[in-house]
């Protein structure tokens, strides 16, 4: 991975969402006009408990992503939590 991509993504995020840090639940208030939450399971159930519920969640995510990002680039950013003070390097950091 290019060393410039994380910096470019950070700059892009700052251009589009300058009024709060990249923390999902904090986007709701300053960006209320564009903030949306998708419920993946019936009755707003939060977590899948078996394979059939995981299939429902995956189908819903694929449908939404297909509509929202059809034909466009998609960047998936995942957080890393660590118990120690130093965050371990990600796998992408190791790729040159």
For 5-25, what is each residue's pLDDT tens digit?
778 888 888 898 888 888 878
Q: Does residue 56 share a domain with residue 30?
A: no
- Domain of residue 33: give its range: 1-37
**CA 75 – CA 36 distance, rounded (Å):** 18
Does residue 96 fall inside a structural domain? Answer: no
Q: How many CA atoms lie within 13 A of 12 on its CB side?
A: 7
Contact present, 26 and 18 (Cβ < 8 Å): no
Band (88; pLDDT cuts 50, 70, 90): low
Torsion of CA 82, 88, 93, 94, to 10 degrees: -140
- Structurally, the chain folds into a number of domains equal to 2
pTM of the model: 0.52
């Amino acid at each position: 991975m290019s060393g410039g991509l994380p910096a470019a993504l950070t700059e892009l995020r700052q251009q589009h969402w300058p009024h709060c840090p990249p923390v999902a639940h904090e986007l709701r208030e300053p960006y209320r006009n564009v903030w949306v939450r998708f419920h993946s399971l019936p009755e707003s159930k939060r977590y899948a408990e078996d394979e059939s519920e995981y299939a429902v969640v995956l189908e819903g995510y694929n449908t939404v992503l297909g509509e929202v990002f059809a034909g466009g680039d998609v960047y998936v950013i995942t957080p890393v939590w660590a118990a120690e003070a130093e965050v371990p390097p990600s796998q992408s950091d190791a790729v040159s």
